[in-house]
Amino acid sequence: MGRVGAPCSAPGSDMYKGWLFKWTNYIKGYQRRWFVLSNGLLSYYRTQAEMAHTCRGTINLATAHIDTEDTCNIVLSSGGRTYHLKASTEVERQRWVTALELAKAKAIRMMNDQSDDSADEEPTSQSDHSEIQGTLKTLASKLDDLSTCNDLIAKHGAALQRSLSELETLRVPLEGGEKNKAVNERATLFRITSNAMINACRDFLDLAESHSRRWQRVLQHEREQRTHLEETIEQLAEQHNSLERACREAPTHAVNTPNTPTTDTGVSERPRKEEASGEDEDTEYFDAMEDSPAFITVTATDPSQHRSSLSTTFDEQQTESSNGNSNDFSGKELQPHRKRRTQIPEKPNYSLNLWSIMKNCIGKELSKIPMPVNFNEPLSMLQRLMEDLEYHELLDKAARCENSLEQMCLVAAFSVSSYSTTVHRTAKPFNPLLGETYELDRLEEFGYRSLCEQVSHHPPAAAHHVMSQRGWTLWQEITIASKFRGKYLSIMPLGAIHLQFHASGNHYVWRKVTSTVHNIIVGKLWIDQSGDIDIVNHRTKETCQLKFSPYSYFSREVPRKVTGVVKDSDGQAHYILSGTWDDKMESAKIVQSSRGSSSSEGKQKTVYQTLTPKLLWKKYPLPENAENMYYFSSLALTLNEEEEGVCWTDSRLRPDQQLMEAGCWDEANVEKQRLEEKQRATRRRREAEASKNFEGYRPLWFHQRTDEMTGETIYVYKGGYWEAKERQEWSMCPDIF
């Protein structure tokens, strides 16, 4: 790059870069900087080498205003930020102007396309279909480039025509010289834009010609597939008629004889040739299919002979869960004593550039970054913890299980269900203030009471305790560690979750997986869960390991997949768990296991032979119009509902959160800053008044104890809250709002 401003690529290409002079201040004036234009973003660096690690600034052209009136100057302004740029020559300036205008038009189209994309689009489509769609998008993009170039040519052509008309009317030689210079500049700009138009036309035609033959082959293949499908359907219809005739001709006395196995649904099946011979079944094992003859004899016999009554009860409970006809107090079938609200004010359509705020926060703790409410949802982190109880009926069923392995399956399903509400919830909950509490009293409706308290601010930690009259108690202390990595945000919950069943004394402990928010800078935000959950029953030493598979564009696996194995104290597997964390979980009882062939990595895999999977948990559909209400679930919509007699430190009374839910975001931002400053002033005053043995803040409803199972020091509920609520005695509570 010998010349300042000489670009590295043509104005119509996807990336455009080169040297420009940028105004810095009145002392240094214009300084030489390396500019890169890519994906609708204009970034600059001091040197080309800085591109690998340090970006000095970025401006989004989709919302930028481009001013090119001054000779050799370009002025870009967006969101209060302005770049004054200068090129070395008028020709270089015109090249940059063309590239910037093309990039701005493309960025606006990309932004509109992203807003129109469906949130539930499946990433794993067929390769041919995805390739065709990608080609169509590329052709459409090139066509849009042609349209933009056409507009620019019309604009610059009109300017050139005006200059020529003015030139004809001139008589003074001096004035004619100035007009000749203007005409030359207009002609240069027209030539550059025309070249960009020609290049875009050539690209469009090349792409169309290169893919036309492939489209013809794909079309022919689809025609052949359709013909084959029609023939197959015709054959199936003939076979169906033959089977109907054979069924009518079969003797009626063969039904329900002692030698004929019966399925779970009570429909008898005739023995098949494969069942009598038993060939291949003894040497090769597969996951048991629903119509597999070898397994029908296992499930079809009298449950009193081959299955214990506990297993029968477990299957019945799973069937009830799948049919939605459970007779237990699950809470979804009963009419609650109080009618809860089903909607909140719709989310306002406020736009804000996330990158302008986050670019200076790379590597910092997220809880220490002052964020406007535009990136929040009107719930606190304490209330998000309460959403773990969305599917509390799973624990109610588990409390009635007498078989601990079957109970473990339901506990595992409960641990997965807590992530189902996060699939569309990319907004950040409010950081609770120190001493903030939240209560969820569903004693009359669902038989449980739940309390959360923010016990630490840095690092942010919350203690949670749930007591159910239906035979279980849950408690946890969660510390949120989060890091912004530039392109994604990692949220790592630290701390163990404890669950104890009153009747059996079974004590389960597990920890949460890592949540990752992608496309922080560019694109549509989406969230993923990844990692392992190890659930341990400390009384029986039984375990369950759940694996949350991270999303991969190149993987053929189902997105958001979760798999697991339930093992006894000796390490023998009894159940296989499978499903997705945003939809459902199933369990399948293992009837036999074998060592399979070695994989490509040299590891020998275990092959489990299982019965038909049973549904453990199914996600409830979102409420109507949820997309305009922060994608809240039915439970989340009720969390800010007014409750009589709650403590004045309760999250539902937090003013900035109330203002945000009401749609008053500007007022909410002001109130949020006031509350945070009040919290800082309170801490400074408390530390100044404390003695030398200052031990920090002490929570009101929780105290630290050493857990007997894990040996960790955690905050546990010490009692007194619900008694204080009965008396309406809150004088000991701090004034945090």
CATH of the domain at 36: 2.30.29.30
Residues 50 and 157 in one domain: no
Q: What domain range is 39 assigned to? A: 15-111
> Cα(453)–Cα(715) distance, rounded to whole angstroms?
10
Q: What is the pLDDT of residues 615-658, one digit of tens each?
A: 999 999 999 999 999 999 999 999 999 999 999 999 999 999 99
* Identity of the amino acid at 697: Y
User: Nearest-CA neighbor of 682 among 691, 671, 674, 672?
Assistant: 674
Mean pLDDT of 202-227: 77
* Domain annotation covers residue 306: no
* Domain annotation covers residue 267: no
Asked whether the predicted pLDDT for residue 600 surpasses 70, the reply is no
Q: What pLDDT does residue 388 have?
A: 93
> Cα(574)–Cα(591) distance, rounded to whole angstroms?
8
User: Nearest-CA neighbor of 524 among 429, 426, 631?
Assistant: 426
Q: Cis ω on the peptide bond leading into residue 370 (within 30° of 0)?
A: no
C-alpha distances in Å from residue 581, one per residue of 353, 414, 547, 585: 31, 10, 11, 8
Total number of domains constituting the chain: 3
Q: What is the pLDDT of residues 442-501, one digit of tens each?
A: 999 999 999 999 998 878 899 999 999 999 999 999 988 887 776 778 888 889 999 999
CB 61 within 8 Å of CB 95: no
C-alpha distances in Å from residue 184, one per residue of 46, 162, 356, 677: 33, 13, 40, 61
Neighbour-count burial of 505, counting CB atoms closer than 10 A to its CB (0-12 exposed, 13-18 middle, 19+ buried): exposed
> What's the token pair of residue 119?
């949130």
Residue whose structure tokens are 């004010």:
345
Q: What pLDDT does residue 460 have?
A: 87
Residues 103 and 194 in one domain: no
> What's the token pair of residue 238?
């003939």
Q: What pLDDT does residue 305 have?
A: 38
Residues 140 and 206 in one domain: yes
CB 356 within 8 Å of CB 79: yes
Residue whose structure tokens are 């500049």:
185
> Cα(334)–Cα(445) distance, rounded to whole angstroms?
8
* Domain annotation covers residue 252: no
Boundary-marking domain end, from 83, 111, 139: 111
Q: What pLDDT does residue 708 have?
A: 83
Asked whether the predicted pLDDT for residue 299 surpasses 60, the reply is no
For 733, how many CA atoms within 13 A lie in the half-sphere containing its CB?
Answer: 21
Say whether pTM exceeds 0.75. no
Q: What pLDDT does residue 364 have?
A: 52
**Which stretch of DSSP H or E encloses residue 159?**
helix 127-168
Residues 376 and 502 in one domain: yes
* Identity of the amino acid at 613: P
Averaged pLDDT score across all residues of the chain? 77
Asked whether the predicted pLDDT for residue 333 surpasses 50, the reply is no
* Domain annotation covers residue 291: no
Those residues with Cβ within 8 angstroms of residue 239's Cβ, 6 or more apart along the chain or in another chain: none
Q: What is the pLDDT of residues 404-442, one digit of tens each?
A: 999 999 999 999 999 998 888 888 899 899 999 999 999
Q: What pLDDT does residue 127 have?
A: 56
Residues 138 and 46 in one domain: no
